[in-house]
Structures are given as C-alpha cells and as structure tokens.
C-alpha cells in the first residue's frame, strides 16, 4: 500500500509539472517589443531563460515518471513468484552487452547531426564556397544511398552475421566522418554514400543481433520491451549530451571537430562488440520464439518480399515505420524554421530548443514501459500515433502561434520517444528472424522515398505544406496501426 501511495504521488507530481509546463507555454501569447525577450504573462523573459525552464520541467517530469515506474516494479516484484524471476540474471547480462554498444553507436550518430549543415557549407571546393543547394545534395545523397543499398545490406546482415554488420557500421561511419576533412567534391560525395550505408547498418544490425540473442535465450517478451524502453531513455540522454559535446569541440576545432570526436565512440562500441558479442545470423538465432526452416537459411530479397506480402501484419508494421519515420525526418528539417517563424527578429537558442525536444523524447520513452504493462503494445502505439497526428496538425494550422508550435513540437517529440521502443517490440514480434535484417532495410526504402520527395519539393511546399505532409503521413500511420490491431490475433508470421 505504501508503494502504491508513493507511485500515485509521483504520478500526480508528473501531471502537475506537465500542467505547469502547458500553462507556461500557453501564457506566451505574443512577442515582446524588446527584440531579445518573449512576454510570459506580463513579464518579459529571455528565450534562453524560457527554454531552460521548459527543459528542467521536462527533466523533472521524466524523473517523476521513473520514480513512479520503479515503485510499481518493486511492488510487483514483491508479489511475483520466484520462478518468474529466474531468467533475470541472464537477461541482465545480455542487456549489459547490448546497451553500452547501442549508446556508443548512437552517441557517434548524434554528434554528427548538429553540425551537418555547418561542416559542408564551410567547404571551399575548386576555389568556390559551398552553396545551400550543394549541402542539400549531400544530404539527399545519404538518403538515396541508404534506399538503394538498404535491402542488399539487410540480406548481408542476416546471412553473414549481425555482429559483423555492427562492426561494418563503425567502419562506414568512420569513413563518412573522416571525409568531412576533405575539400574534394568526389571525396565528400563518397563520404555521404558511406554515411548512408552506415545508417542502414545502424538501424538493422545491432537491433537484429539483440533480438536474435533474446530469442535464442528464450526470455519473456516483456524483458524485450523493457530493454527497448531503457535503450531509448538512454538515447535521449545521449542526444542531449552529444549536443553539448558537439558545441564544445566545434568552438575549439571548427565544425568538423564533432565528426572527429565521433570516431572515439565508434571505436569504443567496436571494442565492446569484439570483446562481448558472439555472432548470430538468421540461421543461428533460431531458438526460442521463432523457428527457421532450413530452406529459409539462404536469405534473399525475393524471399523477404514474399514473407512481407504474405502476412498483412508485417505490411502494417512496415507501413507504420515508413510513414512515421518519414514524418519524423521532415520534422527534423522543419522545426528550426518553424521556431524562427514564431520568434521573429530574436536570437533563437537552437541548442536549448534541441535539449527540450530531447527531454520530451525522454518523457515519451519513460511512459512506454508502464503503458505496455496495462495494454497491448499495438493499442498503446495506436494511441501514440493519434496524439502525434493531432499535435502535428495543430502545429500545421497554427504555425504562427508560439504556444501552439512549442507545445505541439514537444508533444510530438514525446511520441517519438514512445515510438522507438514500441516499434522495436513490434518488429521483434512480427518480423521473422530468418529475414529480420533484410526486412528492416527494405522498410527504410519507402521511408527514404518520402523524405527525398518532400526535400525535392520543399521550396514549393513551404513550412506549412511540409508540416501538412507530416500530418498526413502520421494519420496514415495511425490507420495502419488500427489495422494491425484487428489482425494481431491471426495465425501466421513470425510467431506462428
């Protein structure tokens, strides 16, 4: 009873914090005449102060959620039969092998993001300074290479090994980072191709390795969901830290310095993989939930495609991923101009806004575990997608309103934090391990097509048009998830 009271108290404090944050943002009804201040009620507040307050409110909300979750877990553990806890030690050992590698790899990825534009716009090629159009072409090159090579990479990951694929990621990402030191156009394009290949490996090999080991060990599926939730809570902290590290080293060594720093984390991740991971492939990671027929051991793109079209649940999972992540990448490109639009003539503290977005993401990851313990992950994800679509719709229709834009963006980022562990759980549930890597890579092809299409038409779409595309994609993702909810009880797929 005492634990329940503490958990209820923590939940109440979380609601109070979130309510206070909403009230704070809703009080921002107009910009001050003072160019570097924003009016909060009747007081003028520096945007730096505003976003600092928002950031710490979000951190407090996340901490309260973690306290509530821990109290509930403790109360549940006290009443749980001992036999249900038997796999815990082995599962924790697997988690300790996976999570540090995941966070090292994500740190390397996050370090390169904030200064992507700066590092390329600062180039002087053949005596001419780089242009915005050239930077856009570099950006698109990475997406196109990921789309074109993704399916083949997934096949190699499943056939040759997920450990080998994770090590290959570090090599390709290191080459991409090193290329930012060059002023040669062919080398810069080659670096972006390597970066696109590395991105495909990052989003397929480590997760496929972990799920394969989890299934080989025969662990309870709830431990898988818990691990994904923990991974993406940590990912939000890593992203916030990466932004701070990137700013510090860039101030000393220029815009390519964060890329050089990422090499350290790539090396650390590679060393942990070499020291602690055993190899698994589609043919070996077969004990536990999923089973692989010997004829499926020769993984091919055609085989994976036949599995996808034969099981509508896999199609739904793929559609949700492609649509949501396509909308997310459009948002990544459009939130800076959107914030500039609601703070005209002011010095926008992008680093602090980014920290607030990542803190919102951490809140979303924190609520994933509690939600999925009381309802199926499919229903929880459907609710999240509905909230995300509504939030983006508000930002689209009220793009000139500071409180609407900020509240909607922070709410959407909370949905992003919920989405990643939810999608990791859904992929582990519905994608057969025999074709997991190649399927994950194939799903990224339509996602990349969505992003590239919007990027190529962004001048005509404008800010509102781009956000409207995100809203439409999120609404379609919600419908696909509703369809999955009606199909989840059918036989077939990975768990048949």
Any idea what DSSP says for residue 31? B
Lowest-confidence range among 36-40, 432-436, 463-467?
36-40
Residue 229's domain comprises 95-280
Residue 220 lies in a domain: yes
Dihedral angle at the C-alpha atoms of 293, 295, 299, 301, nearest 10 degrees? -110
Cα–Cα nearest to 463, from 47, 80, 471: 471
Cα–Cα nearest to 114, from 264, 199, 241: 241
Percent of the chain with pLDDT over 90: 31
E strands of 21-86, at which residues?
38-40, 43-45
pTM for this model (two decimals): 0.75
Q: In the prediction, which pLDDT does 46 show?
A: 72
* 163, pLDDT greater than 90: yes
CA distance 368 to 90: 23
Which contiguous run of DSSP H or E holds residue 124? strand 124-125
DSSP-based three-state secondary structure for 374: helix
Residue 308 lies in a domain: no
User: Model confidence at 242, in pLDDT bands (50, 70, 90)?
Assistant: confident
Distance, CA of 54 to chain centre: 21
DSSP-based three-state secondary structure for 129: strand
Residue 111 lies in a domain: yes
Residue 219 lies in a domain: yes
pLDDT in tens, 329-374: 889 888 888 888 888 777 777 777 888 888 899 888 888 878 878 8
Residue 276 lies in a domain: yes
pLDDT in tens, 75-98: 555 555 444 444 467 888 999 999
Residue 364 lies in a domain: no
* 274, pLDDT greater than 90: yes
CATH, residue 110: 1.20.1250.20
CA distance 258 to 243: 9
Residue 264 lies in a domain: yes
Q: In the prediction, which pLDDT does 73 show?
A: 56
CA distance 40 to 345: 17
pLDDT in tens, 202-221: 988 998 899 888 888 877 77
Mean pLDDT of the 34-45 span: 48
When divided into structural domains, the chain yields a total of 1
Q: In the prediction, which pLDDT does 336 show?
A: 82
Mean pLDDT of the 270-288 span: 78
Residue 347 lies in a domain: no
User: Model confidence at 269, in pLDDT bands (50, 70, 90)?
Assistant: very high
Q: In the prediction, which pLDDT does 75 show?
A: 54
């Amino acid at each position: 009873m005492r634990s329940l009271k503490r958990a209820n108290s923590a939940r109440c404090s979380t609601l109070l914090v979130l309510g206070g944050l909403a009230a704070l943002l809703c009080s921002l009804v107009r910009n001050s005449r003072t160019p570097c201040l924003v009016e909060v009620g009747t007081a003028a507040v520096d945007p730096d102060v505003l976003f600092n307050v928002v950031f710490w409110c979000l951190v407090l909300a996340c901490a309260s959620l973690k306290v509530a979750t821990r109290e509930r877990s403790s109360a549940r553990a006290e009443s749980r039969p001992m036999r249900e806890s038997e796999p815990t030690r082995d599962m924790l050992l697997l988690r300790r092998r996976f999570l540090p590698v995941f966070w090292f790899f994500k740190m390397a990825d996050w370090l390169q993001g904030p200064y992507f534009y700066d590092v390329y716009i600062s180039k002087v090629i053949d005596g001419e300074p780089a242009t915005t159009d050239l930077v856009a072409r570099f950006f698109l090159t990475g997406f196109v290479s990921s789309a074109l090579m993704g399916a083949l990479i997934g096949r190699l990951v499943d056939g040759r090994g997920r450990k080998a694929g994770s090590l290959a990621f570090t090599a390709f990402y290191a080459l991409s980072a090193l290329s930012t030191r060059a002023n040669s156009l062919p080398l810069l394009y080659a670096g972006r191709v390597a970066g696109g290949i590395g991105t495909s490996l990052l989003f397929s090999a480590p997760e496929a390795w972990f799920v394969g080991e989890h299934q080989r060990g025969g662990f309870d599926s709830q431990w898988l969901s818990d691990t994904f939730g923990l991974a993406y809570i940590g990912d939000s902290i890593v992203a916030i830290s990466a932004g701070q590290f990137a700013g510090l080293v860039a101030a000393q060594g220029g815009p390519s310095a964060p890329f050089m720093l990422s090499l350290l984390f790539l090396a650390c991740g590679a060393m942990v993989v070499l020291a602690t991971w055993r190899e698994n492939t589609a043919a070996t990671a077969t004990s536990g939930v999923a089973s692989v027929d010997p004829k499926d051991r020769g993984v091919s793109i055609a085989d994976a495609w036949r599995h996808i079209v034969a099981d509508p649940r896999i199609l739904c999972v793929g559609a949700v991923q492609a649509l949501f992540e396509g909308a997310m990448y459009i948002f990544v490109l459009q939130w800076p101009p959107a914030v500039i639009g609601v703070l005209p003539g002011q010095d926008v503290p992008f680093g602090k806004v980014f920290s607030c977005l990542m803190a919102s993401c951490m809140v979303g990851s924190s609520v994933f575990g509690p939600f999925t313990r009381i309802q199926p992950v499919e229903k929880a994800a459907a609710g999240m997608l509905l909230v995300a679509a509504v939030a983006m719709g508000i930002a689209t229709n009220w793009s000139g309103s500071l409180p609407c834009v900020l509240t909607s963006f922070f709410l959407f980022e909370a949905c992003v934090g919920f989405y990643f562990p939810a999608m990791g759980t859904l992929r582990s549930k519905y994608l057969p391990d025999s074709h997991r890597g190649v399927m994950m890579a194939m799903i990224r092809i339509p996602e990349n097509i969505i992003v590239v299409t919007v990027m190529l038409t962004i001048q005509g779409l404008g800010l509102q048009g781009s956000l409207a595309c995100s809203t439409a994609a999120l609404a379609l993702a919600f419908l696909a998830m509703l369809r999955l909810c009606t199909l989840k009880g059918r036989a077939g797929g990975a768990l048949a």
